[in-house]
Chain A
Amino acid sequence: MAGTAYEAFLALGNFEGRERKQILPQWIEAATRIGLDENDMEFAVNEFIPEMWDLQYLGVRKMIGAMTREAIDHTQLKEQRQRGVKLVYGIIPAILTPYQAVKKAGGDKVFVSFPDMCLMNFLQPLFHKGAPLFELAEQSGLTYGCRHCALNKLRIGLRLRDVVPTPDIQWSFGLVCDEATKVDEYINCIYDDKWHAVITRLPHDTMMGEVDDELPERVAYLAAGFRDAYEEVQRVTGVTVREEHIAGALDDFQRYLGKTDVLTRLNAEADPQPLRGSALVNFCHPFSMPFNTGIEYMEDALDTMIEELKVEVAAGRGIYPKGVPKVGAYFIPYAVPWVDKIFMDNGVATSSSLTMIPSAKQLIPPSGTDLYQNVAEQWLRMVFGMGCHVEIKTWIEKVERARPDALLMGFFDYDRWLGQMHKMGAREVEKATGVPTFYIEADFFDDRDYSREALRTRIESISQVIKMRKAAKLAAERAAAPQGAA
């Protein structure tokens, strides 16, 4: 029956009863707009999602539901614009706070979004269907393959497909991802001269040993950037962002961050581990991007997941066998979840992402009297907002806390900054913590060029090496222990 697979997908995302029936026509329309058909639904519902995601948890299903709501909302961007809603876009790397403040100020008069990130997080992890949009961007002139970030390709592809209309303003953070801002120029010059961008530049001329968020002049510099950007947002959208909105957004960020810390710790410290690393990353998205439908749906999923994990941990249940080695990652490649699945098949648990574990400093809310400076501090404490050397120190802190058996780097070869930083950072982390690091040359979002067999061999090898090293280490510790010791 027509629509059955679409409805099954909604059921999987925990849409129930009357709401499911009501939203079904919108969902079918939304799916069509982003290039999904009934075959894609059947593949997702019957094969891909059950294999890649831990659906036994209501929290995971709610999380899929929250992402679906957001995706449906994004396919209405054109209509929203026609109704006079002002569109404010951004792109990662970023934090929730500046955008959340705009949403709090503007409510339904403003649509705040990272459209490429939102739809990437939806299309690739749940349907494995980003490729047609990447190809659209490539056919328009962007180089094929791994030389450009697939997020930027998706932004162009979505624009060309007319899913994502011209924003009233695109607010991004420049240097950290220089390609993102260049892509805005590209769209502006070639396709859409109304594509209006404003960049708030992070300081990023930090000397070795300096910590941006601890230097008043740097915090003040970024805070001034926020003031300027809010003025521009106000000029373009007519939405006035007041201090109460910023204060609320600061609180939202800290609250959500704190909860992800609870979830990450529960999962990383549990043996057996109850949740796969890819799911863990997905729960963390709201502190690095806005949700136009609100972070409440994701937060509800997160709260549910935390409670479910507490029960699992207390009962000693997990999805991996007890005692399996755990691998941390810079960023578990959730957009290519079959990578995570190969680790699982090989008896290794993906346990934590360096980008998504809050540092000790991040968990302390900025307490200054200038709210703009507080936002700046939050931003500069985020791993991708700080200088390389400070970021690597933060990685070390996180590895020492989570104590994985190994650390996986890579997947960012297309990124001039991260690609090299992973190699430098891995060496430092290994030296400081003794945790072995492995590197995989691959693309975080776009797996079209992966040699699956080569990658499988590599992951199997990494898994075997981790297991052997862990076994050898345990044997050596047992041999060195005094007789009679447990």
Chain B
Amino acid sequence: MLVAGVDIGSTTTKAVLIDGAGALVAFAIIDTKHDRDESGEEALTLVLREAGRTDADLTLVASTGYGRRSFKRTQKVLPEIVCHARGTEHLYPGVQTIIDVGGQDSKIIAMGEFGTVQMFEMNDRCAAGTGRFFEVLSRRLLSVPMEELGPLALKSAKPVFLSSVCTVFAESEIISHLSAGTPAEDIAMGILESMAKRVVAIGKQARIDYREPVVLTGGIALNVAAGRAFADQIGKEVVVLENPQMPAALGVALIALDDWTAEGRGSPA
């Protein structure tokens, strides 16, 4: 048995294959295209190729993420909160708090009894505190490739303070810092700290107390300085998963498998 989970996000599309026992078989990631159905297909084709399997081997296909309903071949659609929780719990058993910073939204998930979501909060209206905020401000203004931003930020001795949490107004503030000759690493870390502050505040407003262990997921976690920025904000250790972009795709596959098994539609073996 082979179950595919596809997470079609605003920036990247992730696909996971698991077997009937829930073990990870393969993972693939691509940039999301304008056509979300095509993005899902492409990611699924890629993950099957990596696993040396074909469409014919698939028992179930499930989708989540921003483009979840656009994926025509999906047999099960789930919102990403529960998928993030399930996937992260699988990768890091006992996790109590999940901070997920995606391209378009940020989510803070407090886990409760039975390994399910107790509470969550996410940004609804504003890009501040999302991957897009970081991307716009860092790449465009500092002209540094995303993969180099983390190491650059870690060199910072005196991160700048950004008074505005709005993407638009923060941009003009950064331009002022650049004009004043502020080192790029201090701006890079300042942007990360500003974003972390905004995200942590969203969770606090929802009465999430950041119980440990706290796990950071999403594309932002690929930035080696991001964990530090969040840890500084909450005053607790923040764990970064080896593959922080995988949880939602893995989670939707696991839930689909759970439901399949619970419905008695076949042996998980």
* A→B interface (CB under 8 Å): 423, 426-427, 436, 438-439, 441-442, 449, 451, 453-455, 457-458, 460-461, 464-465, 468-469, 472-473, 475-476
- A468 and chain B: residue at smallest CB distance: B116
Chain A residues with Cβ below 8 Å from B122 are 454, 457-458
Shortest CB-to-CB span from B26 to chain A, Å, is 26
Is A451's CB under 8 angstroms from B79's CB? Answer: no
- A475 and chain B: residue at smallest CB distance: B114
Chain B residues with Cβ below 8 Å from A475 are 114
Further pairs besides A457-B79, A476-B114: 15, Cβ < 8 Å: A423-B206, A436-B112, A436-B119, A438-B119, A449-B125, A451-B125, A454-B105, A461-B120, A465-B116, A465-B117, A468-B114, A469-B114, A472-B114, A473-B114, A475-B114
Chain B residues with Cβ below 8 Å from A439 are 121, 206
**Main secondary structure on chain A at its contact with chain B?**
helix
Interface residues of B in 123-150 (CB under 8 A from A): 124-125
Shortest CB-to-CB span from A355 to chain B, Å, is 22
Which listed residue (A426, A427, A442, A468) contacts B82, Cβ 8 A?
A468
B118 interfacial contact with A, CB 8 Å: yes
- B116 and chain A: residue at smallest CB distance: A468
Is B124's CB under 8 angstroms from A451's CB? Answer: yes
* B→A interface (CB under 8 Å): 66, 78-82, 105, 112-122, 124-125, 205-207
A455 to B124 alpha-carbon distance, docked (Å): 7
Is A427's CB under 8 angstroms from B125's CB? Answer: no
28 A–B contact pairs at CB < 8 A?
A423-B205, A423-B206, A427-B207, A436-B112, A436-B119, A438-B119, A453-B66, A454-B105, A457-B66, A457-B79, A457-B80, A457-B105, A458-B124, A461-B79, A461-B81, A461-B117, A464-B78, A464-B82, A465-B81, A465-B82, A465-B116, A465-B117, A465-B120, A468-B114, A469-B114, A472-B114, A475-B114, A476-B114
- B114 and chain A: residue at smallest CB distance: A472
Chain A residues with Cβ below 8 Å from B125 are 441, 449, 451, 454
Shortest CB-to-CB span from A475 to chain B, Å, is 8
- A456 and chain B: residue at smallest CB distance: B79
A454 to B122 alpha-carbon distance, docked (Å): 9
Which listed residue (A426, A441, A464, A472) contacts B79, Cβ 8 A?
A464
Is B124's CB under 8 angstroms from A436's CB? Answer: no
A438 to B118 alpha-carbon distance, docked (Å): 9
Chain A residues with Cβ below 8 Å from B121 are 439
Chain A residues with Cβ below 8 Å from B79 are 457, 460-461, 464
A166 to B74 alpha-carbon distance, docked (Å): 58
Chain B residues with Cβ below 8 Å from A465 are 81-82, 116-117, 120
A439 to B113 alpha-carbon distance, docked (Å): 20
A115 to B78 alpha-carbon distance, docked (Å): 42
Chain A residues with Cβ below 8 Å from B116 are 465, 468-469, 472
Chain B residues with Cβ below 8 Å from A438 are 119
Would you list the 9 A-B pairs with minimal beta carbon distance, nearest first?
A472-B114, A461-B81, A460-B79, A461-B79, A464-B82, A465-B117, A468-B116, A454-B124, A441-B124
Chain A residues with Cβ below 8 Å from B206 are 423, 439
A476 to B117 alpha-carbon distance, docked (Å): 16
Shortest CB-to-CB span from A338 to chain B, Å, is 16
Chain A residues with Cβ below 8 Å from B114 are 468-469, 472-473, 475-476
Chain A residues with Cβ below 8 Å from B115 are 472
Shortest CB-to-CB span from B23 to chain A, Å, is 22
Chain B residues with Cβ below 8 Å from A457 are 66, 79-81, 105, 122
A453 to B81 alpha-carbon distance, docked (Å): 14
Chain B residues with Cβ below 8 Å from A468 are 82, 114, 116-117
Chain B residues with Cβ below 8 Å from A472 are 113-116
A476 to B121 alpha-carbon distance, docked (Å): 26
A461 to B206 alpha-carbon distance, docked (Å): 15
Shortest CB-to-CB span from B35 to chain A, Å, is 17
Chain B residues with Cβ below 8 Å from A426 are 207
A458 to B202 alpha-carbon distance, docked (Å): 14
A423 to B78 alpha-carbon distance, docked (Å): 27
Shortest CB-to-CB span from B63 to chain A, Å, is 13
A475 to B262 alpha-carbon distance, docked (Å): 12
Shortest CB-to-CB span from A429 to chain B, Å, is 12
Chain B residues with Cβ below 8 Å from A473 are 114
Which listed residue (A453, A458, A464, A469) contacts B112, Cβ 8 A?
A469
Chain A residues with Cβ below 8 Å from B105 are 454, 457
- B107 and chain A: residue at smallest CB distance: A461
Shortest CB-to-CB span from B24 to chain A, Å, is 22
Chain B residues with Cβ below 8 Å from A464 are 78-79, 81-82
- A424 and chain B: residue at smallest CB distance: B207
Interface centre among B78, B117, B122, B124 (most CB of A within 10 A): B124
A469 to B66 alpha-carbon distance, docked (Å): 23
A461 to B116 alpha-carbon distance, docked (Å): 12
A475 to B116 alpha-carbon distance, docked (Å): 13
- A442 and chain B: residue at smallest CB distance: B124
Is B118's CB under 8 angstroms from A436's CB? Answer: yes
A469 to B110 alpha-carbon distance, docked (Å): 13
A473 to B105 alpha-carbon distance, docked (Å): 30
Chain A residues with Cβ below 8 Å from B113 are 472
Is A461's CB under 8 angstroms from B80's CB? Answer: yes
Shortest CB-to-CB span from B209 to chain A, Å, is 11
Shortest CB-to-CB span from A144 to chain B, Å, is 14
A288 to B121 alpha-carbon distance, docked (Å): 32
A438 to B206 alpha-carbon distance, docked (Å): 9
- B202 and chain A: residue at smallest CB distance: A441
Shortest CB-to-CB span from B81 to chain A, Å, is 4
Chain A residues with Cβ below 8 Å from B82 are 461, 464-465, 468
Shortest CB-to-CB span from B118 to chain A, Å, is 7
- B81 and chain A: residue at smallest CB distance: A461
A451 to B122 alpha-carbon distance, docked (Å): 13
A355 to B81 alpha-carbon distance, docked (Å): 29
Chain B residues with Cβ below 8 Å from A423 are 205-207
Interface centre among A426, A441, A457, A475 (most CB of B within 10 A): A457
A476 to B113 alpha-carbon distance, docked (Å): 10
Shortest CB-to-CB span from A273 to chain B, Å, is 23
A473 to B122 alpha-carbon distance, docked (Å): 25
Chain A residues with Cβ below 8 Å from B207 are 423, 426-427
Shortest CB-to-CB span from B106 to chain A, Å, is 12
